[in-house]
Structure 1
């Protein structure tokens, strides 16, 4: 769920689908939760923009719990108002992914979300239902030392992702092979990640036709449900009648859109082999 189209972090390599001025209202949000609960959805993830910038972030979490959802958050919160908002709802969250960037990725993206600055964020949660996610660009031994420091102190797992070509900030990562090799030697490189990178490189040359394999649905900040954040055709408003919403979602999954470069970078089909 996108809580807002705007984001003050504004990473230069951001993949978010929607940019603008829309902020998810509580009325729209509650209506979406009611309809999705009726259709059997049990968990949601608040994303953004930066979800802790939402003026009613804690209330978003509380309302979801009242509907019986498990609530996760992906955040770049750091000490200050964002962390205060996150800490106020931390005990209600099923999981928190704290985003961080390697030193060179931080310089490239101008994000201010360094690896070591994630430590007070993880500590403020008061629980270990969290993951440190590090976006890597020209990753080095100093980054590995930072990661070790944080995961050892916070006792949380780490996910490490190489920075891929971005459709919004157009560049290719000339350090990708070196980054992958260091990730492999330090953390292990799964066959799945290797396959994703290979497929991604293929798509940069010529996009094959493959239907979306995700089992998720996306709620935009202006209240539209989509099969994919990047695919507006066929979207349905949560303010539509119940049957229209159900029919719209059935159509999205019966005839899914084709995967594109943008969504390939952020979404993994649950039914990969």
Structure 2
């Protein structure tokens, strides 16, 4: 079954459609009230394991808000998945939940925002609040991801201070339009120059920026090349988080799931602005 699905290797898991952080520039594909149940999750992982998938990323919503977050991680381990988490956890129950499973995680991406991005998004995910998160993890299988808008000297100092103290890598991404947050970014050229000078730009980020500029000049038709699936909180697998036309329930038969996923690789969805935010993350080794 895996031969016809190409290089399929990972799955992005939406633990809930709702989110208390509720960033104004959030890339969530689904917004609603669904919360991923353990039954649905276990069924999905069983089918994905049969397909040869060996890596998953818990996202959300904020995954540490899930009432059974620890169990989500434990079940993934039982199926042999390398499990990573993208989180905005900082204090209280969220940080406690994250620290409680830290040893079981292959990687943790800690999300943060520059000062102006934080003001625009009303997120509370400041850069200066991240050291306690890395300390709580107790390991260096982690990275800092900063969403940047109108970067200033204080932002740069904060980022350097955090990554040097925690000894973790960082990726700084400029704030681009998303399906839920559209705006002009007059500071984009300057932000990109500062990112490249101080931190370097990954090939993925360069591709994202190039694609973005192409979209500004007109529609770009490009087929999805992602090797990762998406599991929605209500229990559907699909190739693209933003395209439910080819989704299949995890409670369908093995044959139905296999055929639906094969079809999504034979006729991949087209990419768009939304895809730039959610489907460019690389798998982490470590």
**Interval containing the TM-score (normalised by the shorter chain):** over 0.9
1:190: Cα distance to partner?
4.3
Task: Please give the alpha-carbon distance, in whole angstroms, between the structure 1 residues aligned to 2:41 and 2:210.
Answer: 38
The answer for the alignment partner of 1:47 in structure 2 is 59
CA distance in 1, matches of 2:51, 2:203: 34
Of 11, 16, 30, 2:28 maps to: 16
1:108 to 80, 95, 120: 120
1:118 aligns with 2:126: no
Q: Distance in 2 between matches of 1:55 and 1:69?
A: 21
Task: Confirm or deny: 8 A CA contact 1:128 1:155 kept in the other structure.
Answer: yes
Q: Unaligned 5+ residue runs, structure 2? A: 1-12
Moved more, 132-141 or 161-170: 161-170
Following superposition, the deviation at residue 192 of structure 1 comes to 4.4
Counterparts of 1:182-261 in structure 2 under 5 Å?
Answer: 182-190=194-202, 192-261=204-273
5+ residue gaps in structure 1? none
Q: Is the Cα contact below 8 Å between 1:212 and 1:269 reproduced in 2?
A: no
Taking only aligned residues, the RMSD between alpha carbons, in angstroms, comes to: 1.3
Taking structure 2 as the reference length, the TM-score comes to 0.92
SS in structure 1 of the partner of residue 130 of structure 2:
helix
Q: Secondary structure at the match of 1:210?
A: coil
Structure 1: how far apart are the matches of 2:57 and 2:220? 29
Partners of 1:227 and 1:105 in 2: CA distance: 30
- Which position in structure 1 is the counterpart of 2:3? none
1:164–1:173 contact (8 Å) kept in structure 2: yes
**Number of residues of Structure 1 aligned to a counterpart in Structure 2:** 270
1:164-207 deviation per Cα after TM superposition (whole angstroms, max 9, x unaligned): 12221110211000100111111123454334212212213421
C-alpha distance in 1 between matches for 2:106 and 2:244: 29
The residue number in structure 2 matching 1:147 is: 159
TM-score normalised to structure 1 length: 0.96
Deviates more, 1:261-270 or 1:44-53: 261-270
- CA distance in structure 2 between the aligned counterparts of 1:173 and 1:146, rounded to whole angstroms: 22
**CA–CA distance in 2 between the matches of 1:87 and 1:9?**
19
- Give the structure 2 partner of residue 179 of structure 1: 191
